[in-house]
Structure 1
């Protein structure tokens, strides 16, 4: 089957390279990826996928379906195509979106023989306000059996873990006054923010080592001789599990309330970005993908790397068996979110790597549809792991 899928890849391979390069040259920020979405959708439509745009009330999200009309599993490939400000596709989302669309098209060419369905989900704004979050919440994955996405990196790594994250904003409202002539008539909102930072720093001693809390003062006053009547702090709070993260967030909120009481400033708290859950890699699915990746030009796949980042694929992994592995750009030590990373994605070597990743994704989808034993093993593992988490 690898030879057959490879022949289908050969037909669209140059088109995939051109698409990835186009996305590189036309980067669009999260929820503004209109050209990027249209490029991927037009490619899928040309290969007989049925398209629905604007799903989950996100204008640049889409769902593309190819249904064989025969019974069988439904495999989903997730496309990301948002860029970063300043550096464009410094996280390689031009390759991610293209590999997923390409894998779906290749797999669709054999579905009439083996049955099942293949779906591409266009998931905007992974870097900021991830489109996969409302998709997971609103039942988009209810009729999907497995979800996959492949991310470029310095080297190839198996799918691993990620941290759950909440993005919390704290608004302190005080009362302005002349800081020298009548300070006693003012309520310093900035003092509330400073006490919040001090309290969080004291809390760190009593948290597990996986927790990450990092924040900024977004607003802190207008002039040194005016008591600040408004101050705003934004924090990312992360932990290995959603359950523990919620405990930590409650502690931080209590600190904020204490800071409000200490200073007399009024407090309001809200999430300023969507929350991401921790990634639960399905090891059965991960092993299948790694095996298939090693049949391509990729010669080595490292064990999952320890990470303290957060991805909205985590939310997907709580509702359906999922993987988020990495394919190497043959550049050990390469740092993501840089111009160097972005530029590397359009090299001739990265074109070859893109083809390898596309083929491995398609082969893994084929395995899930045709190998009932591995399919059931994947499902059973998912049921056990999600009970724990």
Structure 2
């Protein structure tokens, strides 16, 4: 490890206790998406103490922020993305308290160099667990002047390069005509019958799609009483696939199933997106290789090969407008399952503290590579332009 990277590693150790206090406080005060006022206060105060200039709110989102630090010399602009929302009934079962503190900590560590070229942004991104505010930030142009974006996520293993599934969240509403279910059945149009037919068609469709595609749905409304023919039935679905193109094709097949199911009982059907759509994560391999090399320099030898995460992240949308990485780092022994109370307990334990330091170090060193090596940044951008 060269001298400047040794300096950043030392700075990470100096900052470690303060960063852990931030992560622990957020972990002990879980807040749902768009309600993360405590977390934003803690993170922005942390950044302000280290001379970052904070703008909040951003893009019309009250719990979004941008913290900026300008180096003494001109250069690229990199962004570390902070998450900090929790899961309903679980708390920080996805470790977003660590993500927010790690991104802020990495930005602060880099800011300590007198040789810093360019600008560091720490972007606070709310509501990843629910509606995905990164989609809004992308649409509002927040990333238009950013050269590279990165964050980390706690998980079961060290993985520098991941892909995720594209996601569409669809709500289908079937409309029929109510009638007495015994005395006037001939006058009714049963919306629930259409819905059940729809689910049967979806079950048939599932047998015809690729193994890495997903169709998961629930009925949220199916009638009011057994003796009234339901005039309205509503269902919500998550559709996932390896690529946006494949998902678009799958969505059209699902919509066709809904229309055919409605027509069988003379019902009507409409559909809408009830949450933002996520694109599949397009990891910048060049930047991911830099991250992996920094992990090795930090003594991490066990790094898994590229992985397909069978979930979806709003970082996928970011990766379509700026070169981006979303690596995973192992929490403890990698035995805790995300989205559980056990995971929420682990991220505020000594295992969480140990992981936070590694995340700050590896993100900061990768950020330095991007800022300090024009040839690397050129290669990162060339790869990005070829894939988009």
- TM-score normalised by the shorter chain: which range applies? over 0.9
Count residues in correspondence: 385
SS in 2 for 1:216: strand
Rounded Cα–Cα distance in structure 1 between residues aligned with 2:346 and 2:184? 59
The answer to whether the 8 Å contact 1:80/1:93 transfers is yes
> For 1:181, what is the secondary structure of its paired residue?
coil
User: Which residue of structure 2 lines up, in the alignment, with residue 296 of structure 1?
Assistant: 298
Q: What TM-score, normalized by structure 2, do the two folds share?
A: 0.96
Distance in 2, matches of 1:307 and 1:10, equals 31
User: Which residue number in structure 1 is paired with residue 35 of structure 2?
Assistant: 32
**Offset at residue 183 of structure 1 (A):** 1.1
* 1:229 paired residue number: 231
Q: Which residue of 2 aligns with 1:43?
A: 46
Structure 1 residue 128: deviation in Å?
1.3
What is the CA–CA distance in structure 2 between the aligned matches of 1:349 and 1:204, rounded to whole Å?
A: 40
Q: Secondary structure at the match of 1:246?
A: helix
Q: CA deviation at 1:114?
A: 3.0
C-alpha separation in 1, matches of 2:12 and 2:121: 18
2:283 corresponding residue in structure 1? 281
Q: Tell me what 2:115 maps to.
A: 113
Given that residues 298 and 356 in structure 1 are in contact (C-alpha distance below 8 angstroms), is that contact kept between their aligned partners in structure 2?
Answer: no
Q: Which moved more, 1:328-337 or 1:18-27?
A: 328-337
Where 2:229 maps in the other structure, the secondary structure is coil
Q: Name which of 53, 56, 60 aligns with 1:53.
A: 56
Superposition deviation, residue 182 in structure 1: 1.1
Of 331, 334, 346, which aligns to 2:333? 331
- The correspondence for 1:137, drawn from 133, 136, 139, is 139
Unaligned stretches of 5+ residues in structure 2: none
Equivalent pair of 2:153/2:326 in contact (CA under 8 Å) = yes
Q: In structure 1, what is the equivalent of residue 190 of structure 2? A: 188
Q: Distance in 1 between matches of 2:322 and 2:214?
A: 27
Contact 1:293–1:357 at 8 Å: present in 2 too? Answer: no
1:20 aligns with 2:23: yes
Question: TM-score, normalised on structure 1?
Answer: 0.96
Of 87, 90, 103, which aligns to 1:87? Answer: 90
Is residue 253 of structure 1 aligned with residue 251 of structure 2? Answer: no
* Structure 1 counterpart of 2:221: 219
Mapped contact 1:153–1:328 kept (Cα < 8 A): yes
Q: Judge conservation of contact 1:74–1:119 (CA < 8 Å) in 2.
A: yes
The CA deviation string for residues 9-52 of structure 1, in whole angstroms up to 9 with x for no partner, is: 23321111111111111000111111111111111112121211
Q: Secondary structure at the match of 1:367?
A: helix
Q: CA RMSD in A?
A: 1.3
Residue in structure 2 matched with residue 175 of structure 1 by the alignment: 177
Q: Residues of 1 paired with 2:133 and 2:306: CA distance?
A: 25
Shift of 1:164: 0.4
Q: Distance in 1 between matches of 2:379 and 2:142?
A: 23
Alignment check: 8 A CA contact 1:28 1:82 kept: yes
Per-residue deviation, 1:198: 1.4
Moved more, 346-355 or 168-177: 346-355
Quick check: 1:221–1:230 contact (8 Å CA) kept in 2?
A: yes
Q: Is the 8 A contact 2:72 2:116 kept in 1?
A: no
What is the deviation of 1:62? Answer: 0.9
Mapped partners of 1:245, 1:219: distance in 2: 26
Conserved in 1, the CA contact under 8 Å of 2:189 and 2:231? yes
Match of 1:122 in 2: 124
| Residue range with higher mean Cα deviation, 155-164 or 198-207 | 198-207
What are the superposed Cα offsets for residues 232-254 of structure 1, whole Å, 9 maximum, x if unpaired? 01000011111111111111112
Whether the 8 Å CA contact 1:285–1:323 is kept in 2: the answer is: yes
Runs of 4+ that moved beyond 3 A: none
Equivalent residue of 1:55, what SS?
A: coil
